[in-house]
Amino acid sequence: MNDMCLTNLQSGITMVSAAAIEAFTARLRGRVLVATDAAYYEARTIWNGMIDRRPGLIVQCAGAADVVNAVRFAAENQLLVAVRGGGHNIAGNAVCDGGMVIDLTPMKSVRVDATTKTAWVEPGATLADLDMETQAFRLALPTGINSTTGIAGLTLGGGFGWITRKFGLTIDNLLSADVVTANGELVRASPTEHRDLFWAIRGGGGNFGVVTAFEFRLHELGPEVLSGLVIHPFAEAGSVLQQYRQALENAPDELTCWVVMRQAPPLPFLPTEWHGKEVVVLAMCYCGDLEAGEKAMAGLRAIGNPIADVVSPHPFVGWQQAFDPLLAPGARNYWKSHDFMELSDQAIGILTESIRQLPGPECEIFIAHVGGAA
């Protein structure tokens, strides 16, 4: 390996010797990648195709000790650092140009304690990894709606999805975390240890350290949930959304229903004449007794004259992956969001008008139904 020019914290260049990099590499269980390595391209590529950055070094960590060594090496050389968890990262902060990426994707372990209903999860795990392990014990953690998302970024950003109204945000269920701080020290942050750091990583901002393990509280759920889609013509969007709003006024926390407005993908249960046409989708999930779920969803399913209603019991693991085909890696993603206390007639008017201006078939407007325990 040759001497390297790497981007530093002042957006300048620091020369790091080959000997220093080789000594650093020798202290790792994982590996260090540079631009000439065959695995480099895949390691620098994240889910959002809009982000195209070329780090100087990618440190693929095998465990917490590797993270400690990487943070210390970066500090010694004042290197610009990015931290990659699952690599979904809409904003692109998981990679940087010219600096060091601390890549946590090899750290995917999930360990469930069914007796205490807790799980220890490494930061490279995805929601699919987590769901597969927890559902083996009929337990679940409230997470997002796309199973390829990394647990680390989701948790530290809050995290909400189909069962949040009942069980809270992902971050609400964090019991403790192992964190490597900026000086390369590994500490446990919890309500009783390093309480200020525990507060900070639960919404205080960013750049407090690198989490190498999460301890979560789990909840009884599964293996099946009542879930599915009810699809309406977009011509009825105004009426559907008004009735949707009314149907959710007294919804139990076990019930969640999101709205998606977009051009219909070629779903097998949709008549072909609807493929590519604008539709309003009510995507719903009930995380409780199936019979109670049928009653709770009755008002939503009675709205209008749907094109299709495919609500039925599904394995929770499968429902968590249902939207993966619409959120595949490589697309150029840009998202914006707003929080509303209510879905007013004015908001409905603006949203239904905006759907006519979407630039392409992959674009959509969705309304996430949160509240409840969150």
The string of DSSP codes covering 129-165 is: HHHHHHHTTTEE----S-TTSBHHHHHHT----TTHH
Helix, coil or strand: residue 68: helix
- Supply the pLDDT for residue 58: 98
pTM of the model: 0.94
- Supply the pLDDT for residue 88: 87
Per-domain residue ranges of the chain: 4-103, 110-220, 224-367
- Supply the pLDDT for residue 273: 93
As a whole number, mean pLDDT of residues 24-40 equals: 97
pLDDT tens-place string over residues 263-289: 998 888 999 999 999 999 999 999 999
Q: Which of 81-95, 115-129, 162-176 has the lowest mean pLDDT?
A: 81-95
* pLDDT surpasses 80 at 84: yes
Q: Would you place residue 17 in the very low, low, confident or very high pLDDT band (cuts 50, 70, 90)?
A: very high
State which CATH number among 3.40.462.20, 3.50.50.60, 3.30.230.10, 3.30.70.250 fits the domain covering 224-367: 3.40.462.20
* pLDDT surpasses 80 at 239: yes
Cβ count near 250 (within 10 Å): 9
CA 162 to chain centre: 12
* pLDDT surpasses 90 at 11: no
* pLDDT surpasses 90 at 120: yes
As a whole number, mean pLDDT of residues 107-127 equals: 98
CATH topology of domain 4-103: 3.30.43
Q: How far apart are CA 180 and CA 98, in angstroms?
A: 22
Q: Which of 10-19, 183-192, 312-321 has the lowest mean pLDDT?
A: 10-19
Q: Would you place residue 326 in the very low, low, confident or very high pLDDT band (cuts 50, 70, 90)?
A: confident
As a whole number, mean pLDDT of residues 125-144 equals: 98
- Supply the pLDDT for residue 321: 96
* pLDDT surpasses 80 at 1: no
- Supply the pLDDT for residue 360: 84
Which architecture, in CATH terms, is 110-220?
Answer: 2-Layer Sandwich (3.30)
Q: Return the residue matching tokens 């795990």.
A: 125
Tell me the average pLDDT of the chain.
Answer: 95
As a whole number, mean pLDDT of residues 42-62 equals: 96
Helix spans in the chain (H): 18-26, 40-44, 64-77, 127-135, 151-156, 164-167, 195-199, 237-247, 290-301, 316-320, 345-354
* pLDDT surpasses 90 at 356: no
Q: What percentage of the chain has pLDDT greater than the value 90?
A: 87
